[in-house]
Amino acid sequence: MTVLFTGIINDLGEVFDVQEQAAGLRRIKIACGYDPDTIDIGASIACSGACLTVVARGREGNRAFFAVDAAAETLRVTNAGGWKAGTKLNLERSLRLGDELGGHLVSGHVDGMADLIAREDLPEMARMSFRAPHALVRFIAPKGSVALDGVSLTVNETTGDTFSVLIIPHTLAVTTFGALKAGAQVNLEVDQMARYAARLLEARE
User: What is the DSSP code string of 171-184?
Assistant: HHHHSGGGG--TT-
Is 71 part of the annotated catalytic residue set?
Answer: yes
Tell me the C-alpha distance between 57 and 30, whole Å. Answer: 9
Is 171 part of the annotated catalytic residue set?
Answer: no
Domain that holds residue 199: 112-204
- Same domain for 72 and 137, yes or no, is no
pLDDT at position 203 over 60: no
> Could you tell me if 167 and 22 are in contact, meaning their C-beta atoms sit under 8 angstroms apart?
no
pLDDT at position 40 over 80: yes
Considering 6, 31, 44, 130, which one is annotated as catalytic?
Answer: 44
65-76 tens-digit pLDDT? 999 999 999 999
pTM of the model: 0.92
Considering 47, 50, 51, 70, which one is annotated as catalytic?
Answer: 51
144-171 tens-digit pLDDT? 999 999 999 999 999 999 999 999 999 9
179 CB-near residues (< 8 Å, 6+ apart): 88
Is 176 part of the annotated catalytic residue set?
Answer: no
Grade residue 24 by pLDDT with cuts at 50, 70 and 90: confident
Whether 3 maps to a domain, the answer reads no
Is 154 part of the annotated catalytic residue set?
Answer: yes
- Same domain for 130 and 194, yes or no, is yes
Please tell me the total count of domains within the chain.
2
Is 177 part of the annotated catalytic residue set?
Answer: no
Is 134 part of the annotated catalytic residue set?
Answer: no
CA atoms within 13 A on the CB side of 190: 20
pLDDT at position 136 over 80: yes
79-114 tens-digit pLDDT? 999 999 999 999 999 987 656 666 788 999 999 999
Q: Which of 59, 93, 127 is the last residue of a domain?
A: 93
